[in-house]
Chains A and B, each alone.
Chain A
Amino acid sequence: MITVLLAIFIPFIAACLVPFIHKILTGRRIGWFVITIPLFLFILLIRLVPSLSNGASYLYTFPWIPSADVYFSTHLDGLSMIFALLITGIGSLVVLYSIYYLSEREAIGRFYTYLLLFMGAMLGVVLSDNLIVLYVFWELTSISSFLLIAFWYHRKQSRYGAKKSMLITVTGGIFMLVGFLMLYTITGTFNLQELISMREVIAADSLFIPAMLLVLIGAFTKSAQFPFHIWLPDAMEAPTPVSAYLHSATMVKAGIYLVARFTPVFAGDTTWFYVVSCVGLLTMLWGSVNAVKQTDLKALLAFSTVSQLGMIMSLLGIGSLAFASSESTQIALFTAATFAALFHLINHSTFKGSLFMVVGILDHELGTRNIKRLGGLATIMPITFTIALIGSFSMAGLPPFNGFLSKELFFEAMLSLKEANLLSMDSLVLLFPIIAWVGSIFTFIYCMIIVFQTFFGKVHAPAPGQRPAHEAPIQMLISPMVLGSLVVLIFIFPNLLGTYILGPAMNAVYPQYEGMPGLVPEIHVWHGWEMPIFMTIGVIIIGILLYGLLRYWKWIYSVGFLQWTLDRLYNALLQRIERVASVVTKTYMTGSVRDYVAYIMLFFIALVGIGLLGFQQFIFDFSDDAVIEINESIIIFVMMCSSVAILFAKSRITAIILNGVLGYSIAILFVVFRAPDLALTQIIVETVTTVLFLLCFYYLPEWKNEYKSVSMRIRNGLIAVASGVAVTVIALLVQGHSMYPSISIYYETASRLAGGLNVVNTILGDFRAFDTMLEVLVLFIAGLGVYSLVKLRRKKGVDHPEEK
Chain B
Amino acid sequence: MVSILACCANGAGTSLMMAMTLDKVVKEKGWNVSKTHHCNLEEGKETAENYDVVLCPQNFIGIFDPARDKGVKVIGLKNVLSAQEITEKLEASGVPLV
Report if A and B associate in a common complex: no
Q: A: which residues have CB within 8 A of B?
A: none
